[in-house]
Amino acid sequence: MIIRVNPQDRPPQHGGRLVQMFGDRNVPWDGPCGHLVNQRPEDDNGAHFHEADQYQLFIAGEGQVGGHAVATGSVHYADGYSGYGPITTGPQGCSYLTLRPSFDNTRHLLPAEAALAKGRKGRQHNARMNLDAACVPGVIALFERPDGVGAYQVEVAPGAAPASVMLRGGSYWVVMRGEAEIDGQASPPSTCVWVGEGEAPPAIIAGPDGVTIAVLGFADRRSQTARGARTWQGAEVH
């Protein structure tokens, strides 16, 4: 399953604070789940956890995730059942993509609902893409783990295709800077493509100024199942 979405092509919800991009938050389905959040200025959404693995990719504004400062190009990853936050915003607010490999509409508040995690321990990673430097074609690993979790900054020269990225599970490919043609369709910044586990990414050709793409990879399904069994027993995951 390969799905290409630009949030500008989807209707805003909740007064513009949310744009559903992949799936429906209220209807379970066998596919990815992702949405754009436009968080208001000087806001605090509280510490919490979800039951699915997820990335948050910041595309505008500034704020903090827990004690980590975030801005355009920041990446935050959390295993399912791993508490994080709060996400707080500055005077301009911030916008970020919340991207999961499967349906999940849970949101358990902390510390009130901490017991629902049943002691499960997960990983978190924070990194930031360098979107100010000149384009040097290649792949920069922001972080990566043996089970396939990994975030990458992929720089592509004008008119060229991106270098390959070794991925084990499903992945999101997000245009961060410049433009590209993705499967022959013009794709401006914030265009997001889901590539299912075992599938080849779509054909991508950089525009006249080159393109910078964030590639966000998840663990493969077998590793997710094994990790779940270990973490329910209280084991650490690396």
**What are the tens digits of pLDDT across the range 177-207?**
999 999 999 999 999 999 999 999 999 999 9
Please say whether the structural domain 133-217 has been given the CATH code 2.60.120.10.
yes
For the chain, 238 residues long, the average pLDDT of each consecutive 10-residue run is: 85 88 89 95 93 96 94 96 94 96 92 87 92 92 95 97 94 97 95 95 96 96 69 45
Query: Positive or negative, the Cα torsion across 96, 103, 151, 154?
Result: negative
CA 212 to CA 174: how far, in whole Å?
9
Given this chain, do its domains 9-127 and 133-217 carry the same CATH topology?
Answer: yes
CA 77 to CA 54: how far, in whole Å?
6
Instruction: Identify the DSSP state of 27.
Output: B
Q: Give 9-127's CATH code, choosing from 2.60.120.10, 2.40.50.140, 3.50.50.60, 2.130.10.10.
A: 2.60.120.10
Specify the 3-state DSSP secondary structure of 132: coil
Specify the 3-state DSSP secondary structure of 231: helix
* Both tokens assigned to 233: 């027993």
